[in-house]
């Protein structure tokens, strides 16, 4: 069975889906692995490193995809790449199907059986396959470093010959994986950190990594299960807005990480809240890929409004391509190895992990939420 690894084509993408160490494991498990020339270069994995573990390196992307039994990639393919995948092949990657419904329709029409790692159930058994958590961890870490580099103040308290400098105050919105890593990183840099989340059950997690929890008593539960949050009621939104306005006005840095269902970003930080913030303050909107948590954010850009620098970086994990590729590669390798038997991938619709991650099969979009997204987008 041939596993093919194409070079990522999304603008600014520097990650690769499989690194040499993972290729070696899969080859030992009985697969043949083919990698497009230069696929790992931006993440500092050379073609020689792939060949050194037994993978083949090919320059023709169309040929690579056309003969693959299983295509492994980081992002959803572009339309022209879908047409190059062999009909009947498997595809695995972080496809973000709710953000890419058109591509999912194209994959179904091509008769590709596609699995999306961001749809894998968040269960103990599936934890080693969880690319969302692995990449969110990097985003939370990197987001704080971006803030520290831009803030016109020290993060830690410092005693100097000129007197004491107080620590920066950091407020983290959202305490899933990215938020908790942001808290931990800001604390390691010496900041005073507070954090909030609409799921009150994460209070202990926030406090365990050294932040002060601030929150509201919700009228309705905001937990959507699986570590995700759902949209708040109108009443709870109003009370949350008051809390956010007060907290943002008191701090030097706001890190936002909030996503509804792990996909789309609610607008939480309004222009009025930004106007109340301290001059020189920083907002790092880590939800920019989902549209952004701040209504003044421009995804992919940095802007200054009311003296506040608003950073909305896209695809933050790609800024650390080496470790991001290693972790992503280990996640997808865990998925493949879990379902390998007799040197081949065993498709099993009865398995809860495969069932949850399955987006397209037998010419159809089979993932319920993706079908809903296609219907909303005007598809069939």
Residues marked as catalytic:
122, 127, 130, 133, 228
In terms of C-beta density within 10 A (0-12 exposed, 13-18 middle, 19 or more buried), how is residue 264 classed?
middle
In terms of C-beta density within 10 A (0-12 exposed, 13-18 middle, 19 or more buried), how is residue 202 classed?
buried
The pair of three-digit structure tokens given for residue 294, joined into one six-digit string: 């701040």
Q: What is the helix, strand, coil percentage profile of the chain, to 5?
A: 40, 20, 40
Question: 252 near 278, Cβ under 8 Å?
Answer: yes
Question: 84 near 61, Cβ under 8 Å?
Answer: yes
3-state DSSP assignment of residue 44: coil
Query: What separation in angstroms does the CA of 63 have from each of 38, 113, 256, 327?
Result: 15, 19, 42, 27
Sign of CA dihedral 78, 84, 90, 92: negative
Question: 274 near 305, Cβ under 8 Å?
Answer: yes
C-alpha to C-alpha distance for 118 and 206, rounded to whole angstroms: 24
C-alpha to C-alpha distance for 104 and 93, rounded to whole angstroms: 12
């Amino acid at each position: 069975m041939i596993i093919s690894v194409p070079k990522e084509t999304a603008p600014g993408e520097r990650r690769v889906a499989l690194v040499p160490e993972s290729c070696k494991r899969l080859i030992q498990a009985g697969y043949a692995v083919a990698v497009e020339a230069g696929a790992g270069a931006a993440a500092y994995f050379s073609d020689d490193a792939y060949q050194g573990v037994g993978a083949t390196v090919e320059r023709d992307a169309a040929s690579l995809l056309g003969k693959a039994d299983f295509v492994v990639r980081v992002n959803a393919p572009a339309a022209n790449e879908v047409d190059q995948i062999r009909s009947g092949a498997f595809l695995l990657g972080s496809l973000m199907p709710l953000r890419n419904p058109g591509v999912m329709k194209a994959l179904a029409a091509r008769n590709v059986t596609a699995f999306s790692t961001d749809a894998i159930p968040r269960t103990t058994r599936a934890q080693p396959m969880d690319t969302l958590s692995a990449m969110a961890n990097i985003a939370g870490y990197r987001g704080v470093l971006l803030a520290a580099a831009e803030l016109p103040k020290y993060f830690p308290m410092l005693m100097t010959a000129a007197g004491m400098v107080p620590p920066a105050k950091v407020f983290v919105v959202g305490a899933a994986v990215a938020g908790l890593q942001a808290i931990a990183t800001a604390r390691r840099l010496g900041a005073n950190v507070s954090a909030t989340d609409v799921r009150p059950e994460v209070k202990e997690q926030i406090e365990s990594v050294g932040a002060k929890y601030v929150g509201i008593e919700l009228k309705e539960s905001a937990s959507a299960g699986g570590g995700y949050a759902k949209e708040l009621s109108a009443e709870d939104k109003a009370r949350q807005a008051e809390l956010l306005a007060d907290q943002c006005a008191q701090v030097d840095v706001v890190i936002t990480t909030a996503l509804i269902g792990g996909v789309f970003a609610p607008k939480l930080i309004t222009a009025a809240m930004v106007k109340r913030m301290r001059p020189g303050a920083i907002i790092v909107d880590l939800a920019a890929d989902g549209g952004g948590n701040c209504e003044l954010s421009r995804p992919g850009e940095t802007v200054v409004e009311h003296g506040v620098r608003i950073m909305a970086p896209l695809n933050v994990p790609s800024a650390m391509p080496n470790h991001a590729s290693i972790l992503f590669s280990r996640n997808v390798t865990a998925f493949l190895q879990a379902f390998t038997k007799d040197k081949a991938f065993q498709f099993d619709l009865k398995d809860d992990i495969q069932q949850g991650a399955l987006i397209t099969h037998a010419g159809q979009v089979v993932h319920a939420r993706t079908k809903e997204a296609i219907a909303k987008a005007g598809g069939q």
